[in-house]
Structure 1
Amino acid sequence: MPTQAPDPYYVAFIDEAGDPGLKNVRPIDPAGATEWLCLGAIVMRSELEPKTTDWVRAILSEAECERSDLHYRYLTAPQKRTALSEISRLPLRGFVLASNKKNMRRYRNVNAERVQSRQWFYNFCLRLLLERVTDFCFRHAKKERAKGRLLKIVYSERKTHSYSQTAAYQELLKIQAKNDALVLSKRRIRWEVLDWRLNEAVAHATCAGSQLADAVTSAFYQASDTLPPTKWNSEFAKLLDPIMAKENGACMDYGVALQPTPTWKAKLNDRQRQIFEYYGYKFWP
């Protein structure tokens, strides 16, 4: 008999922009997958989740947008400016993991192939995002001396993803963490704030929290991607500065995380560097 899910103290809405394809990657290949995969999250106390619908309605009204849902790609530039400014005033924290995939082109993960995992790169990027999100929740709950600290994760549903594979991958990481066998050790997922029963995937159009996560993630994607059809603009992502999570007073590699590391491996152009320099990154010739 399944056990009842515990009550969460936090909720994170996670969305993505770009795709995880690695076989052919633009601009190396004229016809290929996107150069970037951006995963983003907004985190808030779970008691605030019911307010997200009213927040989105107010944002749409302020932006003079006649749509019933907030979808970044359908907003005009002035509407984006208004929407992101309004989001920057909300009681939440934002996270973005931006992966430039040029150095990953045609990379094969042999271990993932053995278990027939078709989305290992997405899961890997999600891991990096969750390391930061769960660390924030763990530290925030400790600082507040909160009675609870569990985090509910709400994914914006994609037909191309298997969330059961994602759950299996996370269980593997949890086992490796217990055995002290993690391949990457700089950061770790704070399993203390996670419970497998507090995970769900929802349709974007029906979830206001996912729509807010879409706006945050897509703003950073627009600030990173300089290839058409994206109309590059770093202005909107900069407006989110007040809510992007900080570690020791800095967003770099926490609220805003760039992959690959070190930064020179990404071989970013001058426009791509702008948003990351704004959030504290340094690039050397």
Structure 2
Amino acid sequence: MPVTFVAYIDESGDTGLNRVKPDSPDGATEWLILSAFLVSSANDSNLVSWVKDVQEGIKSKRRDLHFNKLLPFKKSMVCAALAQKDARCFSVMSNKQNIERYKNKNLGEEKAWLYWWLTRLLLERVTDFCERLTPIKQRGQDKLRIVFSRRGGLTYENFKSYLELLRYQSVNGKLRLKAGDIKWSMIDLNEVLVMDHHHRAGLQLSDVIAGAFYEAVERNRGDIEHCEPAYAKQLEPLVAKSAKNNALGYGIKTMPNLWKMDLQDQQKAIFEHFGYSPRGWKSG
């Protein structure tokens, strides 16, 4: 079956839950950001040149692009250039303070359950976007290729098994959480791949997306104490919107819901930029 879209998936932050910042200064990251950089298959062959484009004017000894290793002015240059490309991006942003020390009983001893759960939320939105752009007569034939950036501690065959379970539950009306579902017409398990960051240009661009949204909300990043939303704001042209033209809840999905979070003003800035009402925040 033909592949018509390719989604490159990378993350920023970690999955640690035993001790979470900021209450534990030396604990795991407060946020885990999972991002997808989506292109048509026609543009997939252009991504090597796109990486060169977004790095134009940046002098670097590195052969691959790593957002968190760039100086601030270079991050801004990269995001501004990437925002001009014919692509879309999606980010699921999990604030882990509310799930500190939580264990998912439904996934047994699978230590990567949080990563896979966020991937499900990500794919619900990516596949919906792809299906909307797929002619009705082609649905079920045209497919999405999913390419993960290789990450230590993850067993990708387990993710395929997770997808198979979700598809079984979906077909049989047994989804445990019925708020959303993957558009299964776009999924081919043979098109779920894992590759190294430096071997795939698309993964380097998804790294930019994840890194920009991570810096927009994560405090205490080493010597940097404050959030920096400027880079994520620059990526606004890329952020996917729902059929109702909403970015929040679609191109940007938060866990838990924003009104349940007790965020600092600096963390709220990126969400208000994308349309969240200041009146919606948790009071007190």
Band of TM-score, shorter chain:
over 0.9
Q: Which residue of 1 aligns with 2:123?
A: 130
Query: CA 1:77 to 1:193, structure 2 compared with 1: closer, same or farther past 3 Å?
Result: same
User: In the comparison of the two structures, how many residue pairs are matched?
Assistant: 277
Show the counterpart of 2:254: 258
For the residue of structure 2 that corresponds to 1:62, the secondary structure is: coil
Judged with a 3 Å threshold, the aligned counterparts in structure 2 of structure 1 residues 11 and 35 are, in CA distance, closer, same or farther, namely: same
- Would the alpha carbon gap of residues 102 and 147 (structure 1) be closer, same or farther in structure 2, given more than 3 Å must change? closer
Provide the C-alpha distance between the structure 2 equivalents of 1:273 and 1:156, rounded to a whole number of angstroms: 28
Partner of 2:147: 154
Q: CA deviation at 1:145?
A: 6.9
Report deviation, 1:66. Answer: 4.2
Q: Is the 8 A contact 1:131 1:188 kept in 2?
A: yes
SS of 1:258's equivalent in the other structure is: strand
In the alignment, the residues of structure 1 paired with residue 184 and residue 115 of structure 2 have an alpha-carbon distance, to the nearest angstrom, of: 19
Whole-Å Cα distance in 2 between the matches of residues 253 and 230 of structure 1? Answer: 31
- Distance in 2, Cα, partners of 1:24 & 1:72: 26
One-letter code aligned to 2:254: L
Question: Residue 84 of structure 1 contacts residue 239 of structure 1 at CA under 8 Å; is this kept in 2?
Answer: yes
Gaps of 5+ in 2: none
CA distance in 2, matches of 1:64, 1:147: 45
1:184 equivalent in alignment to 2:177: yes
Structure 1 residue 43 corresponds to structure 2 residue 38: yes
Q: Which residue of 1 aligns with 2:134?
A: 141
Output the aligned Cα RMSD.
1.7
TM-score when normalising by structure 2? 0.93
Residues 65 and 79, structure 1, Cα contact 8 Å, conserved in 2: no
CA-CA distance at 1:281 after TM superposition: 2.0
2:158 to 160, 165, 184: 165
TM-score, normalisation: structure 1: 0.92
Q: 1:230 to 1:100 in 2, by over 3 A?
A: farther
Cα distance in structure 1, aligned partners of 2:146 and 2:130:
12
Q: Percent identity?
A: 36
Q: Pick from 6, 13, 16: which aligns with 1:21?
A: 16
CA contact (8 A) 1:9 1:148 kept: no
Report the equivalent of 1:222. Answer: 215
Amino acid at match of 1:102: Q
Q: Offset of 1:67 from its aligned partner?
A: 2.6
Cα deviation 1:243-282 (Å, max 9, x = unaligned): 1000111201100111102x23221111111101111223
Question: Would you say the 8 A contact 2:140–2:185 is kept in 1?
Answer: no
Change (3 A) 1:80 1:172: same
Distance 1:241 1:271 in 2: 18
Residues 1:82 and 2:77 are matched in the alignment: yes
**AA aligned opposite 1:75:** L
Q: Indicate which of 37, 49, 52 corresponds to 2:47.
A: 52
Structure 1 unaligned regions, length at least 5: 1-5
8 A Cα contact 2:139 2:186, kept in partner: no
Distance 1:278 1:190 in 2: 29
Cα distance change, pair 112–7 in 1 and its aligned pair in 2 (3 A): same
Identify the residue that residue 195 of structure 1 maps to in structure 2. Answer: 188
Shift of 1:143: 8.0
1:71 to 55, 66, 73: 66
Deviations 1:198-224 (A, max 9, x none): 011111011100000000110000001
- In the alignment, which residue of structure 2 is the partner of 1:30? 25
Asked whether the 8 Å contact 1:12–1:42 carries over to 2, the reply is: yes
CA–CA separation in structure 1 for the residues paired with 2:57 and 2:91: 25
